[in-house]
Amino acid sequence: MSVQEQIKRFTAPDIRARKGGEPIVMLTSYHAHTARLADKYCDVILVGDSLGMVMHGLETTVPVTLDMMILQGHAVMRGSQRALVVVDMPFGTYEASKEQAFMSAARVMKETGCGAIKMEGGARMAETIRFLVERGVPVMAHVGLTPQSINTIGSFRAQGRDETDWAPIEQDALAVTQAGAFSVVLEAIAEPLGRKITEAVAIPTIGIGASVACDGQVLVMEDMLGLTPRVPKFVKRFGDLGPGIEKAMADYAAEVRARTFPAPEHTYPMKKKG
């Protein structure tokens, strides 16, 4: 048996069972090569619709299509072996009806081989989550700041900073839990609210700008590596790759223009006769 055959990939039930245990590590990835790196350290890799902004330069995630998600989902599955791969459902592919959501999710899972999908929305999506879970689709929920709703909420602002706003967010988290989601992302909510929700729900919470008390954390890989010009307050830059990449490109351009690259060691000489 090969080493690859011996590696067991995390499943949605595995992540669900981590509630209250060792913190769940999650990052986004959209490429086989970054997935290969993340796979060594992450329990979950999210193929996030944030790819629209960090890969394609879009202003929001709204224009992202199902075909875009499936293409990058393929790449991440090829690059990973052990992490649970979760693919975001993009705007407009699941909101119309629970049947639409199932057809979109089924296509994603069949064509990428991923282990779960993620959907934004709390109580309003509970019936759809239940419908999908009953039909074999593991669902990671997402409440708090929901970027796909940017055109109705108006800005990417933190949620629940006034205690009078807590109740709907708490209800959203409870609703997706009761509907059968195996975990829930809490994005950009006040720290005490993130802590309270984590204590209240029976499934793991994955924080992104929420609380250290969450059962896990997620960040956009490009944000935490220093490749994104502007990042939210909740991002810690664990690397600063941008300047290094730019310097490498500048050095390359300079050597090409000076005709010092390629050097002899980078070229192929003729074979010696005889």
How does the average pLDDT of the chain come out, rounded?
Answer: 94
| Residues that constitute the known binding site for 3-methyl-2-oxobutanoate | 49-50, 88, 118
Residue 4 belongs to some domain of the structure: no
Q: Is 187 in contact with 195 (CB distance < 8 Å)?
A: no
What mean pLDDT do residues 22-42 have? 98
Catalytic residue, chosen from 59, 111, 187, 255, is 187
Q: Write out pLDDT tens, residues 37-93.
A: 999 999 999 999 999 999 999 999 999 999 999 999 999 999 999 999 999 999 999
**Predicted pLDDT of residue 229:** 86
**How far is it, in rounded angstroms, from Cα 267 to Cα 156?**
51
CB atoms within 10 A of CB 75: 18
Residue 6 belongs to some domain of the structure: no
What mean pLDDT do residues 21-44 have? 98
Q: Is 51 in contact with 64 (CB distance < 8 Å)?
A: yes
**Predicted pLDDT of residue 148:** 84
Q: Is 83 in contact with 43 (CB distance < 8 Å)?
A: yes
**How far is it, in rounded angstroms, from Cα 3 to Cα 261?**
40
**How far is it, in rounded angstroms, from Cα 118 to Cα 58?**
20
**Predicted pLDDT of residue 171:** 98
| Residues that constitute the known binding site | 49-50, 88, 118, 120
Name the pLDDT band for 154 (thresholds 50, 70, 90).
low
Torsions phi, psi for 110 (to 5 deg): -70, -40
Report the alpha-carbon angle 95-92-188, nearest 5. 80
Residue 274 belongs to some domain of the structure: no
Check which CATH number belongs to the domain holding 105 and give it: 3.20.20.60
Q: Which of 16-20, 79-83, 133-137, 159-163 has the lowest average pLDDT?
A: 159-163
Q: Which of 27-41, 151-165, 170-184, 204-218 has the lowest average pLDDT?
A: 151-165
Q: Write out pLDDT tens, residues 243-273.
A: 999 999 999 999 999 999 999 999 999 988 8
Among candidate residues 45, 56, 122, 119, the one with its CA nearest the CA of residue 85: 45
- With tokens 């649970």, the residue in question is 84
Report the alpha-carbon angle 121-179-28, nearest 5. 50
Q: Write out pLDDT tens, residues 201-257.
A: 999 999 999 999 999 999 999 999 999 988 889 999 999 999 999 999 999 999 999
Residue 119 belongs to some domain of the structure: yes
Among candidate residues 147, 141, 134, 215, the one with its CA nearest the CA of residue 172: 141
Give the rounded percent of residues in the chain with a pLDDT score beyond 90. 87
Q: Is 95 a catalytic residue?
A: no
Torsions phi, psi for 115 (to 5 deg): -95, -10
Q: Which of 2-11, 104-113, 132-141, 207-216 has the lowest average pLDDT?
A: 2-11
Considering its fold, how many domains does the chain have in total?
1
**How far is it, in rounded angstroms, from Cα 151 to Cα 120?**
14
DSSP element (H, E) containing 128: helix 126-134
Q: Is 179 in contact with 130 (CB distance < 8 Å)?
A: yes
Q: Where are the beta strands (DSSP E) in the chain?
A: 24-28, 44-47, 84-88, 116-120, 139-144, 183-187, 205-208, 216-219
Among candidate residues 199, 20, 198, the one with its CA nearest the CA of residue 207: 198
| Residues that constitute the known binding site for Mg(2+) | 49, 88, 120
Residue 216 belongs to some domain of the structure: yes
**Predicted pLDDT of residue 274:** 67
Residue 2 belongs to some domain of the structure: no
Residue 104 belongs to some domain of the structure: yes
Give the rounded percent of residues in the chain with a pLDDT score beyond 70. 96
Name the pLDDT band for 1 (thresholds 50, 70, 90).
very low
Residue 246 belongs to some domain of the structure: no
Q: What's the chain's Rg over C-alpha atoms?
A: 21
> What are the counts of helices (DSSP H) followed by strands (DSSP E) for the chain?
12, 8
Domain hosting 56: range is 12-240
**Predicted pLDDT of residue 14:** 98
Name the pLDDT band for 160 (thresholds 50, 70, 90).
confident
**How far is it, in rounded angstroms, from Cα 246 to Cα 250?**
6
Asked if the model's pLDDT at residue 145 lies above 60, the reply is yes
Say whether pTM exceeds 0.75.
Answer: yes
Name the pLDDT band for 5 (thresholds 50, 70, 90).
low
Q: Is 126 in contact with 179 (CB distance < 8 Å)?
A: yes
